[in-house]
C-alpha cells in the first residue's frame, strides 16, 4: 500500500468520528489570538478554554509565536500545550487593567507570607480543578509579573502558575523564565507530577505547599535570590495540612545569575557582597519555612547542586517532620552549609498549637566540594543540626558522606556563643559563626554517623565535630582532617557516646560528660 492511499484511509477513518471527538484540540489562533508580541490575547485564550470545557475537555494549543496575556483561567479536563517556539508572555498591567484581583483577605492571612495567601493574580490560575495539564516545549515568560508583592497596584500579577485545591495535575517539558514570586505555586494539589521542566526564577521556582502524592523529576532549576525547590506546609488553606508522599529525583539546582540558565551562559556576576543585594545566593532545596502541617514520607535522590546553598529541613510552626530520605546528592560551590536541619518555635499559626517534632531522617551518599567562605558566612559552613531546649531532633542517620569545606577560621571561633534563636526565622545566616568546621549538633537524640570524610581547603583550627546536649550517639569509620593541637570532637552535656575507628583516635565509650575534648 503506497503512502498516498494510507493517508487517504486515515483521513476517511477520522472523518467518520463524531464532530465532538475531533474537536479535542483547540488552537487559540482560531479564537482570535495573535502571536505578534503586541496583542493581548487574554480573551481569546480563555474563550478557547471555555469552548473546550463545554465540550468535555481537551487540549488548548498554543502554536509558535509570542502570545501576551493576563490571567488564564484553567478548567477541569484541560491541557494547555505550548508548541516549540511558543512564548506565553505575562503582559504588564495598564491603568489597573491586568491580572485577576487576588482573593479577599482571610483571617488566616497573617500566618504566611503574602504570596502564599493568593492565587488568582497569576498568569495561569486554577482552583478546585481536576485532570489538568501544562505541557509542551514552549516557554512561559513572566515578563510583566512582579518579583515582589505589589498589593497596592491594581491588576498586578506575581506568579506564573498558581494552583489551589486541585488533583491529577501534570506540568511537563515547559520552560519558565521570570516567574515572579513563584514560577509554580501549588497549594493543596494532590497527584501532582512535574517532569522535565526548566525554571529560571527571579525568586522561588517551585513551591509545593500542603500537597500529597507529588513526583518531581528531571527538572533544572536556577534561582539565585530565593529557594529553588521548596516544600512547604503553610496555613494558606485555612487549616494545617501535611505535605506528604513526595519524590524528588534527577533534578539540578543552581544559583547562577537570573536568566543565565535559559541562555546557557551560567554566569556569576551577582555576588552575596554586592551593595544593595536583598538576598544572598540561594538556590537550595528546602522543607519549610512554613511548616504548620508538617512533612511526611519525602524521598530526594540523584540530585545536583551547584553555586547554590545545599538543603534545609525545618519545622518551626508546630508541624511534624518524619520519615525523610535524602540519598545520592552531589554539590559544588555551596554558599553557606551543605545541610541544615532545624526544629524551633517561631509558631506562626493559631494559638494553642504545640512545638513540632523532627524524627527519622536518613541522609546518605553525599559528596560536596567547596562549602562556605562567602563574606556573609565567613565562619559558617558546617552542617548544622539543631533543636531547642526540651525539643530534640530524633533518630538521625548520616552515612557515606564526603565534604570539603572552604575553612580558614581560627580557634577563637570555638569560644563564640552559638545563639539559640528559638523563635526566629530559621536560616543558617542567623548564626554567622560556628565552633566546628565540619558538623555541629545541638539537642539531638539518637544520632548515627558512619563513613564520613571531612576536609578543608584552607587551614582551620576548629574541630571537625561539636556536640552540645546530644544523647545516644554513635560515630564510626570517620576520617576528618584537623590542625595540629585541634581536637577532633568537642562534647558538651553528651550522654551515651561511642566512637569506633575514628582516624587518629582510639575507640572510646562515654556514659556522660559535661565537657570533653577528644584529640
Query: What tens digit of pLDDT does each residue of 319-355 get?
Result: 999 999 999 999 999 988 999 999 999 999 999 999 9
Q: Which residues contact 134 (CB under 8 A, 6 or more apart)?
A: 79, 80, 82, 124, 161, 170, 171, 172, 174
CATH fold, domain 26-197, is: Pectate Lyase C-like (2.160.20)
Domain parsing of the chain, residue ranges: 26-197
Selection from 206, 204, 225, 202 nearest residue 217 by Cα: 206
Residue whose grid cell is 570555638? 414
Residues of the chain with confidence (pLDDT) below 50: 1-21
pTM, to two decimals: 0.94
Q: What is the pLDDT of residue 271?
A: 72
Q: Are 230 and 203 in contact (CB under 8 A)?
A: no
Report residue 508 CA to chain centroid gap.
Answer: 40
Selection from 282, 325, 304 nearest residue 367 by Cα: 304
Helices vs. strands in the chain: H and E counts, helices first = 3, 33
Which SS3 state, helix, strand or coil, does residue 82 take?
strand
Residue whose grid cell is 539565585? 224
Burial of residue 321 (CB within 10 Å: 0-12, 13-18, 19+) is buried
Q: What is the DSSP letter of 258?
A: T
Q: Are 236 and 214 in contact (CB under 8 A)?
A: no
**Radius of gyration of the chain from its Cα atoms, rounded to whole angstroms:** 25
Query: How crowded is the C-beta side of 330, counted as CA atoms within 13 Å?
Result: 4
Angle at alpha carbon of residue 129, lines to 123 and 131, rounded to 5°: 100
What are residue 252's phi and psi, to 5 degrees?
-125, 135
DSSP line for 452-513: EEEEEEE---S-SEEEEEEEEEEEEEEEE---TT--SEEEEEEEEEEEEEETTS--EEEEEE
Q: What is the DSSP letter of 351?
A: T
Grid cell of 160 as nine digits: 506564573
367-387 tens-digit pLDDT: 999 998 665 555 789 999 999
d(CA 480, CA 463): 9
Q: What is the pLDDT of residue 259?
A: 96
Q: What is the DSSP letter of 257?
A: P
d(CA 164, CA 211): 10
Grid cell of 60 as nine digits: 488548548
Burial of residue 415 (CB within 10 Å: 0-12, 13-18, 19+) is exposed
3-state helix/strand/coil string of 135-159: EECCEEECCCCCCCCCCCCCCCCCE
Angle at alpha carbon of residue 331, lines to 141 and 451, rounded to 5°: 150
Q: What is the pLDDT of residue 13?
A: 39
**C-alpha to C-alpha distances, 213 to 136, 246, 296, 313, nearest whole angstrom:** 23, 6, 11, 19
Q: What is the pLDDT of residue 11?
A: 39
3-state helix/strand/coil string of 11-40: HHHHHCCCHHHHCCEEEHHHHCCCCEEEEE
What are residue 123's phi and psi, to 5 degrees?
-70, -45
Q: Do β-strands 204-209 and 139-141 pair in parallel, antiparallel, or remain unpaired? A: unpaired
Grid cell of 386 as nine digits: 539543631
Amino acid at each position: 500500500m503506497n503512502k498516498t492511499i494510507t493517508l487517504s484511509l486515515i483521513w476517511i477513518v477520522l472523518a467518520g468520528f463524531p464532530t465532538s471527538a475531533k474537536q479535542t484540540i483547540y488552537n487559540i489562533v482560531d479564537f482570535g489570538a495573535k502571536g505578534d508580541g503586541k496583542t493581548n490575547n487574554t480573551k481569546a485564550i480563555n474563550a478557547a478554554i471555555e469552548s473546550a470545557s463545554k465540550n468535555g475537555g481537551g487540549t488548548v494549543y498554543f502554536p509558535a509565536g509570542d502570545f501576551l496575556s493576563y490571567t488564564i483561567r484553567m478548567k477541569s479536563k484541560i491541557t494547555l500545550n505550548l508548541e516549540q517556539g511558543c512564548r506565553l508572555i505575562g503582559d504588564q498591567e495598564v491603568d489597573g487593567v491586568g491580572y485577576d484581583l487576588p482573593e479577599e483577605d482571610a483571617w488566616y492571612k497573617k500566618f504566611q507570607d503574602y504570596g502564599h495567601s493568593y492565587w488568582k493574580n497569576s498568569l495561569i490560575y486554577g482552583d478546585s480543578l481536576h485532570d489538568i495539564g501544562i505541557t509542551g516545549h514552549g516557554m512561559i515568560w513572566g515578563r510583566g509579573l512582579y518579583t515582589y508583592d505589589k498589593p497596592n497596584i491594581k491588576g498586578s500579577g506575581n506568579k506564573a502558575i498558581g494552583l489551589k485545591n486541585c488533583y491529577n495535575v501534570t506540568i511537563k517539558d515547559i520552560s519558565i523564565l521570570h516567574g515572579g514570586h513563584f514560577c509554580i505555586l501549588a497549594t493543596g494539589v494532590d497527584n501532582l507530577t512535574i517532569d522535565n521542566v526548566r525554571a529560571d526564577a527571579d525568586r522561588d521556582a517551585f513551591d509545593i505547599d500542603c500537597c500529597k502524592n507529588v513526583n518531581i523529576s528531571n527538572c533544572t532549576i536556577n534561582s539565585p535570590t530565593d529557594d529553588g525547590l521548596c516544600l512547604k506546609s503553610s496555613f494558606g488553606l485555612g487549616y494545617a495540612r501535611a505535605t506528604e508522599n513526595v519524590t524528588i529525583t534527577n533534578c539540578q539546582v543552581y544559583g547562577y545569575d537570573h536568566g543565565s540558565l535559559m541562555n546557557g551562559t551560567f554566569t556569576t556576576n551577582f555576588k552575596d557582597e554586592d551593595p544593595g543585594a536583598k538576598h544572598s545566593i540561594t538556590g537550595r532545596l528546602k522543607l519549610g519555612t512554613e511548616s504548620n502541617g508538617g512533612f511526611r514520607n519525602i524521598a530526594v535522590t540523584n540530585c545536583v547542586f551547584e553555586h547554590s546553598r545545599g538543603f534545609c529541613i525545618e519545622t518551626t510552626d508546630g508541624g511534624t517532620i518524619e520519615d525523610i530520605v535524602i540519598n545520592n546528592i552531589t554539590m559544588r560551590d555551596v554558599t553557606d552549609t551543605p545541610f541544615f536541619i532545624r526544629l524551633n518555635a517561631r509558631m506562626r499559626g493559631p494559638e494553642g498549637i504545640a512545638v513540632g517534632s523532627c524524627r527519622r531522617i536518613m541522609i546518605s551518599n553525599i559528596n560536596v566540594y567547596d562549602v562556605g567562605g562567602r563574606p556573609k558566612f565567613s565562619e559558617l559552613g558546617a552542617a548544622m543540626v539543631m533543636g531547642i531546649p526540651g525539643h530534640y531532633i530524633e533518630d538521625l542517620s548520616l552515612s557515606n558522606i564526603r565534604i570539603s569545606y572552604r575553612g580558614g577560621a581560627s580557634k577563637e571561633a570555638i569560644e563564640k556563643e552559638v545563639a539559640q534563636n528559638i523563635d526566629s526565622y530559621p536560616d543558617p545566616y542567623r548564626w554567622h559563626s560556628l565552633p566546628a568546621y565540619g558538623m555541629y549538633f545541638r539537642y539531638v537524640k539518637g544520632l548515627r554517623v558512619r563513613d564520613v570524610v571531612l576536609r578543608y581547603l584552607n587551614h582551620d583550627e576548629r574541630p571537625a565535630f561539636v556536640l552540645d546536649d546530644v544523647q545516644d550517639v554513635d560515630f564510626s569509620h570517620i576520617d576528618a582532617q584537623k590542625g595540629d593541637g585541634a581536637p577532633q570532637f568537642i562534647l558538651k552535656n553528651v550522654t551515651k557516646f561511642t566512637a569506633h575507628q575514628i582516624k587518629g583516635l582510639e575507640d572510646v565509650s562515654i556514659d556522660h560528660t559535661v565537657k570533653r575534648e577528644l584529640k
